[in-house]
Structure 1
């Protein structure tokens, strides 16, 4: 890309995964204080023509994935320590709900296992 990225901005290359083919990418400039929710709203409001077949009904279902993790709406680009004046890559996917964090899943599974005694028949004599 021949265009210089402003030193106070972050260039996000957002990849919209497409079923059965490689994802479609589009680049957007954001400030470090922009949150994941701000980015989703901006992309929704400026939906690229080349993504017309993948359009969504509302911004709230657009989710950003960075380094394999879903970003919650209030996370800013600064909090992710993305470099200013550079391009960072994220995936953008339509999804109603975010999955539970892995640590919570693990805690819940171990909690279920530890309380398993009385889920079968127990006798206290």
Structure 2
């Protein structure tokens, strides 16, 4: 989809699966990550994504800028540009990972996160 075909009040999402396959969908800034998961599940690209099919919409999770989005977060709250394409990853996952308490403490202190005496979790 070229930029001229994206309505000025919508956001074009290019969703990337773990397999690397992509598909684009157009959403409103008021749509939440949960709304997007339901829409994608209901409009699953059968021809392209057959092997990645999931059993229900609730396990589809969006990742934006390296972070899982909670289902209530809207595209508008993320400050995504209207009339443009934004890339997100779409992964099947039952539950969101717990935030790393060490990272949260470091961010609140204004320090940088590093591996030291705390255990690291690579997703």
Alignment TM class, shorter chain as reference: 0.7 to 0.9
Unpaired runs of 5+ in structure 2?
106-116, 118-123
Please list every run of 5 or more consecutive structure 1 residues that lacks an aligned counterpart in the other structure: 114-125
Cα root mean square deviation, aligned: 1.9
State the shift of 1:101 in Å. 1.7
2:66 paired residue number: 68
Deviation by residue 1:10-66 (Cα, 9 ceiling, x = unmatched): 000000111xxxx00000000000000000000000000210111000000000000
Q: Secondary structure at the match of 1:28?
A: strand
Tell me the TM-score normalised to structure 2 length: 0.79
Moved over 6 A (4+): none
Distance in 1, matches of 2:12 and 2:56, equals 23
Q: 1:29 aligns with which of 26, 29, 42?
A: 26
Shift of 1:68: 0.1
Count matched residues: 104
- 1:10 corresponds in structure 2 to 11
Find the counterpart in structure 2 of residue 79 from structure 1.
Answer: 77
Q: TM-score, normalised by structure 1?
A: 0.78
